[in-house]
Structure 1
Amino acid sequence: MGLLSQGSPLSWEETKRHADHVRRHGILQFLHIYHAVKERHKDVLKWGDEVEYMLVAFDHQNKKVRVVLKGEEVLEALQEKGERKNPNHPTLWRPEYGSYMIEGTPGQPYGGTMSEFNTVEDNMRKRRQEASSLLKENEALCTITSFPRLGCPGFTLPDCKPTPVEGGASKSLFFPDEAINKHPRFSTLTRNIRHRRGEKVVINVPIFKDKNTPFPFIETFPQDDEAAQAAQPNHIYMDAMGFGMGNCCLQVTFQACSISEARYLYDQLATICPIVMALSASSPFYRGYVSDIDCRWGVISASVDDRTREERGLEPLKNNSYRISKSRYDSIDSYLSKCGEKYNDIDLTKDKEIYERLLKEGIDHLLAQHIAHLFIRDPLTLFEEKIHLDDANESDHFENIQSTNWQTMRFKPPPPNSDIGWRVEFRPMEVQLTDFENSAYVVFVVLLTRVILSYTLDFLIPLSKVDENMKVAQKRDAVLHGLFYFRKDICKGGTAVVDGCSTAQNGTETDTEEFTLMSIDTIINGKEGVFPGLIPILNSYLENMEVDVDTRCSILNYLKLIKKRASGELMTAARWMREFVAKHPDYKQDSVITDEINYSLLLECNKIANELSECPELLGSGYKKAKYSGNKTGSSS
C-alpha cells in the first residue's frame, strides 16, 4: 500500500498548505538519492511477490458469508509470532486498506538462481497456513480479487452501518468506515481524496444484461442528491475508496542491476501489463451485482480519483494549475528508456518548474519529465511530525507523492543509505484463488524479465496503444475475444531466440507497421507467420539453461496453466465465477448475487484454494500439488 508513516494526520486544508513544501523537498530528496546511486551497477537480481488476502466468515446455518473486520488483530499476531521474533522468518505481513485484509510477502527476496522458482508456491502455502492457523473454525483466508457483496447491507462482521449523513472518512451510502484499516493513513487518504475532489468519488460499472435484468437498469437514491446525479443508467454505482482499494491483487517487484536496466524493464513490462491483466481476470461482481467487466482496474482508478472538476476539464481552470487526463491510479504516461522515447505519444502534463530544476541538476529529459509528471499531484496525507525532514537522509516527502501515483508500473529509486538497488514494480495482476495459480503468474512474469534482459527483446509500441489495450483488457472475456496491439518483431536487434521470431513478410500493407492487433492466444502461444509467442520463447530460454528436474517440472506446469488460459482451454477465474453463478439454483438471471449465491461461491472458492475440491475447468487436470497442511477453514459440516 506504500508509505506507512506514523503520527498525527493533518486535515486536507492543512495538508494543502504544505503541498508546495512537500513537492519541493520531495524533489530535493530524489536528487540526493539519484546523485548518490546513479552510477551504481552490478546489483544482483532479486525479486519478490506480494499477495493480498481477505478474511471472511461463513454462517453455515443462514448461508451467508461476510468479511471479518479483524485484519489488524491477525496482523499483530502474525508479526509477533514471525518477524519480531526472527528477522529471518520466511514470511512478512503488512496492513492493507480494508480492515478485513492483510498482505503477505516472502521474508527475504528471491535471488537470481533458477531453483528459486521452485520455492514460490511453497512460500505462498506457508503464508496461507500461518494466517489460517489464527482464524476460527468458520473463518477463512481467501485470495479473491473482489468480494461480490462488498457494500451490500450486512456484508461485514461485526455488522457496521455506513454513515453518509453523519460524515466520517468516506460518507459512503454503502461502505462503513469500520471496514477501513485503523492505521491513520487509510482513513486520511479516504477523507482527503474526497475533500480535494470536492465531492465523493464516483464509480459506475456497466451491469451485465442477463435475460431478466431490468432494462434500463436504474437505481434510485432519493435521500442523496449527489448519488442521484452521479449514478448512471445500466451501471452499478459505488461511492467510496473502499470499493477499489478494498479489492485484492498480486504484485511483483524486481531489483535491477543498474538504473538503466530498471528503466528498460519498466518500459518493456508496461506493454505486457494489459495482457497479463486480462489473463488474470478475476473480478466480475460488484456490490451484489454481475457486472459486464472482468477486472478491477477501472473501479480502483475511479475510487481514488481526487481530480477536481477543473482538473477533469468540466470547468475552466481557476483554482487549479493543470488539466489532468487520468486518475492517479492508472496506466503509465511515459516510457523511461532511450528506446522508448519515440513511442511517447501521450501528451504529458508536467510541472515545468520541477522539470527545469531536474534538468539543471543533470537529470536526463526522460527521467526528468517522468518525475515532473508525478509531481503535478498533491500529497494526500501528511503527518504533523513528518513536515520537516533531513532531505539528505530521508525520503518521506518523495515517497508521499511517488507512492500515491498508483500506476501499472512503478519505478522505485533505492531508499536512502540502503543496500537496496533500483527496482520496478509490476502491478496490474488480479489475485487468483490458489497458491498454484498465483505462483504460475508470478513465475511467468519473472521468467519473462529474464528473457527480456537475456535476449534484449523489444515489446515497445506507442503508449497510446498500450492505453487502448488497458481498456480492452478489462472487458468481459477479453482473454477470449479481445484484440490487443502488440509488436510483431520483438527481436529487431537480430537475436534469433526461436524460429519465426522475426515476423515473416507476406507483402501486405500492414507488414510495414511495427505492431498489429493480436489475440491473447497469439501473443502468449504464437501463430505462424504472425508472432512466435511468449511461451515458446520462454521454453526456448529454459532449454538453454541448466535447471534441475524438479524446478523444470514446476516451471513447465506453471507455463502450461498460462498457455491454457490464453488459449481458452482453461477458464479465467472471472469466467469460472460467472458460470458458477449462472448455474446456481437460486440465480434468477437478473444479475443479482444474493447472500446464498455469494455463500455458495465463496465456500467453493475456499475449498478449491485448500485443495478440498477439484476444479479442472480452472486448473486443468494433473497439475502438480505440493503437500498442504494448513487449517482448512470454512468447510460446511
Structure 2
Amino acid sequence: PLKDSKFRISKSRYDSIDSYISNDPNNKPAYNDIPLVYDEDIYKNLSENGIDDLLARHISHLFIRDPLVIFHELLNIDDNESTDHFENLQSTNWQTMRFKPPPSKTSPIGWRVEFRSMEIQLTDFENAAFAIFIVLVTRAVLSFGTNFYIPISKVDENMKVAHHRNAVLNEKFYFRKSIFPQSRPGTPASGTPSGSPRPTPASLPRTAAANASADCSDEYELMTIDEIINGNPSKGFPGMLGLVNNYLNTLNIDIETRCEISKYLELIKKRANGTLMTAASWMRHFIHNHPEYKQDSVVSESINFDMVKTIEKINKGEISAPELLGNFTV
C-alpha cells in the first residue's frame, strides 16, 4: 500500500490515451483492458449527476493529478460560467488524443476531439500534408463508420515501439484487420466500403456481458507502417490512404483541387513506404555526415547551427531536399 501518495500512476501525463470513452456499440469493454486509475469520489459525484460510466471514469482519471500551473487571477472564478479550473488539469494531460468540451455555455465552439500524436515537421508543406491527411481521415471515419478499436494495452505497446529508431521502416505495430462495419450488407471484411449507410447505435445493440468476455485477439495483427498507411492488397486491407481516397471518390471535387490534395497525400505515402526520409531520419543523416561530428553522440553548437540554417534555406526554397521532400517544392 502507498504511504505518502494517494495514487500509483503507471503512465506519464505525456503519453498515449488511457481508455476509450465512446458509447459506440463497437467499443467493447474488452478493449479497455488496462485498469484505469481514477479518483473514486469524483467518479461517484459525476455518476450521481448523470454522467455515463466511461466519461465519468475518464474525467475522474484526469483529476488524479495536480495542476502544474496556477494563475492568481483565475483562483476564484464561477465554475458555473467558466471551465478554466477544469481546463487547468485537462490541458496539462498531454495524451495522443483529447476530448474537449465547449469552453463555456455561450461559446459557439462545440465538442471537439484533438489528434495530438504527430510531431511538427521541418517545412510548412509537410505540416500541411499531415494536417490535411488527418482531417480527411476524420471525415472518412465519420462517413464510413469505420472501426479502429484494438485493446488499450496494444496501443501502449505501439507507442513504445514508435520511439525506436527508424520504427517507421523497421518495426511493426498492432492494427485492426477489419475496419469497416461487418453488419452492412455487401461490406467486405476489410476492403473497400460498399456505400451502404453506416449502422446506427440502435441497429447494433450492445451486450456488455458478451462484449466484456469476448476474445478480440483475432481482430488485430502486427502491420508495418507501409501496410497501415498504403494498404495490403493481398489481404484486402485498404490502408489509411485507401480509406481517404475512397472518401474523396464520394465527393464532387474538381480535378484541380483533387490534384492539389493528391500532392500532399503522396508525401504521406512515400514517407510510409520509405521512399522519402522522415524528419528524424533526415536530421540524423545531416548530423552523422557533418564534418565536425565525431560519432560520439555530441551535437555541438556549430553542428546545430548549420542544421538550423539548412532547414531555413529549405523552407525558403533556396536549396532542395529531394531525400526529404522528393519532387515537392516548398
Q: Output the TM-score relative to the length of structure 2.
A: 0.86
Matched, 1:607 2:297: no
Deviation at 1:512, TM superposition (A): 7.2
SS of corresponding position for 1:382: coil
Structure 2 unmatched ranges of 5 or more = 193-215
Greater per-residue strand proportion: 1
The amino acid of 1:554's aligned partner reads: E
Distance in 1, matches of 2:260 and 2:49, equals: 48
Are the equivalent residues in 2 in contact too, given 1:557–1:624 (CA < 8 A)? no
Distance in 1, matches of 2:8 and 2:272, equals: 38
Deviation at 1:379, TM superposition (A): 2.1
SS of corresponding position for 1:340: coil
Of the two structures, which has the highest relative contact order with CA contacts closer than 8 Å and spacing of 6 or more? 1
2:220 to 515, 524, 535: 515
2:246 to 528, 533, 540: 540
**What is residue 72 of structure 2 aligned with on the other side?**
384
Are the equivalent residues in 2 in contact too, given 1:554–1:624 (CA < 8 A)? no
Deviation at 1:500, TM superposition (A): 5.4
| CA spacing shift, 1:390–1:478, aligned 2, 3 Å | same
SS of corresponding position for 1:358: helix
The amino acid of 2:122's aligned partner reads: L
Matched, 1:349 2:55: no
SS of corresponding position for 1:513: helix
**What is residue 295 of structure 2 aligned with on the other side?**
589
Deviation at 1:442, TM superposition (A): 0.3
Distance in 2, matches of 1:421 and 1:592, equals: 47
The amino acid of 1:422's aligned partner reads: W
Structure 1 unmatched ranges of 5 or more = 1-315, 503-510, 626-637
SS of corresponding position for 1:410: strand
Matched, 1:443 2:132: yes
Distance in 1, matches of 2:217 and 2:88, equals: 44
Deviation at 1:373, TM superposition (A): 0.5
| CA spacing shift, 1:388–1:512, aligned 2, 3 Å | closer
Deviation at 1:355, TM superposition (A): 0.6
**What is residue 102 of structure 2 aligned with on the other side?**
414
Deviation at 1:624, TM superposition (A): 5.4
Q: Output the TM-score relative to the length of structure 1.
A: 0.46
Q: Specify the structure having the higher radius of gyration (Cα).
A: 1
Are the equivalent residues in 2 in contact too, given 1:483–1:518 (CA < 8 A)? yes
SS of corresponding position for 2:73: helix
**What is residue 482 of structure 1 aligned with on the other side?**
171
1:554 to 226, 240, 260: 260
Distance in 1, matches of 2:254 and 2:93, equals: 41
Matched, 1:492 2:181: yes
Deviation at 1:498, TM superposition (A): 8.4
Are the equivalent residues in 2 in contact too, given 1:500–1:529 (CA < 8 A)? no
Matched, 1:528 2:233: yes
Deviation at 1:550, TM superposition (A): 2.7
Are the equivalent residues in 1 in contact too, given 2:149–2:176 (CA < 8 A)? yes
Deviations 1:263-298 (A, max 9, x none): xxxxxxxxxxxxxxxxxxxxxxxxxxxxxxxxxxxx
Are the equivalent residues in 2 in contact too, given 1:487–1:514 (CA < 8 A)? yes
SS of corresponding position for 1:424: strand
**What is residue 468 of structure 1 aligned with on the other side?**
157
Distance in 1, matches of 2:271 and 2:175, equals: 19
Distance in 2, matches of 1:395 and 1:570, equals: 43
Are the equivalent residues in 2 in contact too, given 1:355–1:372 (CA < 8 A)? yes
The amino acid of 2:131's aligned partner reads: V
Distance in 1, matches of 2:284 and 2:68, equals: 37
Deviations 1:176-224 (A, max 9, x none): xxxxxxxxxxxxxxxxxxxxxxxxxxxxxxxxxxxxxxxxxxxxxxxxx
Distance in 2, matches of 1:324 and 1:609, equals: 42
**What is residue 334 of structure 1 aligned with on the other side?**
19
Greater per-residue helix proportion: 2
**What is residue 207 of structure 2 aligned with on the other side?**
none
| CA spacing shift, 1:521–1:603, aligned 2, 3 Å | same
Are the equivalent residues in 2 in contact too, given 1:345–1:463 (CA < 8 A)? yes
1:371 to 47, 50, 59: 59
The amino acid of 1:317's aligned partner reads: L
- Count residues in correspondence: 301
Q: Say which is worse superposed, 325-334 or 458-467, in terms of deviation.
A: 325-334
SS of corresponding position for 2:234: coil
Deviations 1:421-479 (A, max 9, x none): 00111111111111111000000000000000000000100001000000111110010
Are the equivalent residues in 1 in contact too, given 2:178–2:190 (CA < 8 A)? no
Are the equivalent residues in 2 in contact too, given 1:499–1:532 (CA < 8 A)? no
Deviation at 1:402, TM superposition (A): 1.1
Deviation at 1:499, TM superposition (A): 9.5
Q: Say which is worse superposed, 561-570 or 543-552, in terms of deviation.
A: 543-552
| CA spacing shift, 1:383–1:586, aligned 2, 3 Å | closer
- Matches for 1:307-322 after TM superposition, within 5 Å: 317-322=2-7
Matched, 1:454 2:139: no
